[in-house]
Amino acid sequence: MTVVLDSPHAAGAAFDTLATHYDDLFTFTIIGRAQREIVWNRAASTFLPGDHVLEINCGTGEDAIFLAQRGIRITACDASEQMVRHARARHQLEVPHSPISFQVLPTERIHELPEQHFDGVLSNFSGLNCVEDLHGVSRDLARIVRPGAKLLLCLSTRFCLWEALHYTLKGNFRKAIRRWGGKSLASFERHPFFVYYPTLASLRKSFSPEFRLRSITGIGITTPPSYLEGWISEHTRLLAAMKKVDKLLCDLPFFRSIGDHVLLSMERV
């Protein structure tokens, strides 16, 4: 079977190969926790107990479990069957009575969800970077959320200062600039797929007029990307200092757009 690299199947198949080890590779790492802390702080003040939140690109269920523990009802979707299987297992093991429903559904097919008038939407850590048509996603979300619903969308940035410096110093200029063209070919276990790196301006345009941008928060400005886990794990005091600096810089123009990720807060018009 021929797989189209920009299809939902391509990304889903690639992440199937990571599902068993994904939490060890990112979720439970000190960098992963440091970057997720910023998203969780914002999510805790955005979504309220009793809300019904749609999570797209849910991965292994880390964020769904966090929100469910706060009394929030979650419908969580992912293109990867193995990620969803792992998320369901974690749900039953860690919070078996929490209101979470997991299903295999790529973001490009969320129009298949019934109109439930969700109170909010979360997409964390670059899942939307695997989707080319973000305006189509905006239209689909607008149909299934209530007026005033909040969106929290975390994506990889077009320019990451850490990545550019790290790979330049290693002499790997292709990786140093891989985000700059807006599209890059990635591969996990010989499963290739495209990754897209939209600018903040294009993101604002893609989600309008259905959604209004409320705030932009930079993530991983001085805190390094997860592939530097081995190095930073030997410098935990430095990481603690980086986290403090990130809190000072994360909402400032320029700095918020040069980190590893950016968190957008939007509202349904």
φ/ψ (deg, to 5) at 258: -115, 10
Side chain identity, residue 163: E
- What mean pLDDT is predicted for residues 50-77? 98
- 């409320």: which residue's tokens? 214
List the structure tokens of 23. 């939490």
Q: Which residues contact 93 (CB under 8 A, 6 or more apart)?
A: none
- 114 pLDDT band, cuts 50/70/90, is confident
> Is the confidence at residue 2, as pLDDT, over 50?
no
Task: Note the pLDDT tens digit of each residue in 129-181.
Answer: 999 999 999 999 999 999 999 999 999 999 999 999 999 999 999 999 999 99
Number of separate helices (H) and strands (E) present in the chain: 11, 9
CA atoms within 13 A on the CB side of 124: 26
Closest CA to 203 of 150, 148, 253, 128: 128
Across 206-218, average pLDDT: 98
Q: What is the mean pLDDT of residues 186-210?
A: 96
Q: Which amino acid is at 153?
A: L
Q: What is the pLDDT of residue 218?
A: 98
What is the residue-averaged pLDDT of the chain?
96
* For residues 117-126, average pLDDT: 97
Expressed in percent and rounded to 5, the helix, strand and coil fractions of the chain are 45, 25, 35
Q: Is 34 helix (H, G, I), strand (E, B) or coil?
A: helix
| Spatial distance between the Cα atoms of 193 and 140, rounded to a whole number of angstroms | 23
Q: Quick one: pLDDT at residue 8? A: 73
CATH 3.50.30.20 assigned to domain 8-268? The reply is no
Question: Domain residues of the chain, as ranges?
Answer: 8-268
pTM of the shown model:
0.94
State the amino acid at position 110 in one-letter form.
I
Our CA angle for 42, 215, 155, nearest 5°, is 75
